[in-house]
A and B are shown apart, each in its own frame.
Chain A
């Protein structure tokens, strides 16, 4: 078993993790990034669309290009930042200060970090319906990986479930890849994502069926179609079930934080519906209730990559500061003001309410 030591172990090399690594390395910390995928960048590498938000958070630049910018930034620090790909962290043994991990399926590691930043991101939700387990029912992120990272055609005719931003964006990306999107179903009475994304797919002739959901996937070993139904205000069926022919059913029904490691560590957690699951309490420097563990990005609550990058900077600064390193003066204030401006307005209201339920000034009163 390989053993290694590092100042700061960053778990997850997506937008939050790369930003945390950059902030900590800039302060002089030695950083190790453990990434379970075969490349850095997290979900950014799958995003072929231009980002919104503010200029500091790369508005107007395509997601996969932002990943490149962040990777270039950490490359500046040379050997101060090292990266382990295909490496999944499996546990933290606090008494011994050891993190266990595996590279690939066979090689095991013991890592002894002084501080840890958990940026493990999110995973997709599944909705229950008969036959949701057969090949052809895919998560939206998986479809993006297949076509946008590896250039493989995911299917011929896709039925999209969910008209949030992911459902809308992935539908548009499917059409860019030459795949037919039969329809987008949305159980709610209104579109969840931004209008600009919805308008793009509508202009290309894809119907967005509100108050509609999937009843079952059709097919034996493989998807051949789906039964769909219309819903009333109580989410009960109205009218007849309709049959749609498709070879792929893409689920874009939301994300939930990948928080297993935080639970295992024993971080104090709270269920916050607006943040899409159980998330850790955190102080203003993104530290958890464990004095050696910081976190940032979707694991802190489902939000956009722009917010994940800023939270990552905060967490990287926090972890570096606790090691006695000199961090950029005014750093926390600067990143909080950028975060607050991203979360301003009507669109950010749920996030603001959600975050306010888990940000603490001290740990004495947290149950």
Chain B
């Protein structure tokens, strides 16, 4: 991961190092830190594609306000990855367009 190793002022206390999946690839991140930070540390910049123009979108505001970092997490679209903590085994996917909500069999009409 692309981490700051030495800093004149700050010391970083990372959470436990865990594996998660990004578009089917296994990678590492720190549990409890936002998903977007783990992706960035793994060199990943593109988190979704816009509905009409298919433009790349990624990290932008990091405070859960701008919608740029929406991704599909464990099947749920439009998750604000900059403020959603990473958990072991999470399934994180690039979001295409608006994303779609999968209904459970009980809810499906």
Contact surface of A with B, Cβ cutoff 8 Å: 36-38, 48, 62, 64, 86, 88, 104-105, 123-124, 133-139, 141-142, 145-148, 150-154, 176-178, 220-222, 258
Contact = CB atoms under 8 A, between A and B. Distances in A.
Interface in B1-34: 1-4, 6-10, 12, 14, 30, 32-34
Given A104-B84, A142-B63, A152-B3, 19 more contacts: A36-B83, A38-B34, A64-B10, A86-B85, A88-B64, A123-B63, A124-B61, A133-B57, A134-B57, A138-B59, A139-B62, A145-B37, A145-B62, A145-B63, A148-B10, A151-B7, A152-B40, A222-B46, A222-B56
Contacts of B85: 38, 86
B79 interface: yes
Nearest to A176: B8
B76 interface: yes
Given A105-B80, A177-B7, A135 B46 contact: yes
B62 A38 contact: no
A152 B41 contact: yes
Contact of B7 (A88, A141, A176): A176
Contacts of B7: 151, 176-177
17 contacts: A62-B9, A105-B84, A123-B61, A134-B56, A135-B45, A135-B58, A139-B62, A141-B62, A148-B10, A150-B12, A151-B7, A151-B10, A152-B1, A152-B3, A152-B37, A152-B41, A222-B45
A137 B56 CA distance: 12
B12 to A, nearest CB: 3
B44 to A, nearest CB: 9
B2 A150 contact: no
Contacts of A137: 60
- For the residues of A in contact with B, the DSSP-based class is loop
A148 B40 CA distance: 14
B65 interface: yes
B98 interface: no
A37 B60 contact: no
Contacts of B6: 178
A147 B3 CA distance: 8
Contacts of A145: 37, 62-63, 82
Contacts of B63: 36-37, 123, 141-142, 145
A151 B12 contact: yes
A221 B37 contact: no
A48 B4 CA distance: 14
A135 B57 contact: yes
Contact of B37 (A64, A146, A176): A146
B83 A38 contact: yes
B65 A123 contact: yes
Nearest to B80: A105
A51 to B, nearest CB: 14
B55 A134 contact: yes
Contact of A38 (B9, B32, B65): B32
B46 A221 contact: yes
Contacts of B80: 105
Contact of B79 (A37, A105, A150): A105
A135 B56 contact: yes
Contacts of A138: 59-60, 62
A65 B76 CA distance: 37
A246 to B, nearest CB: 14
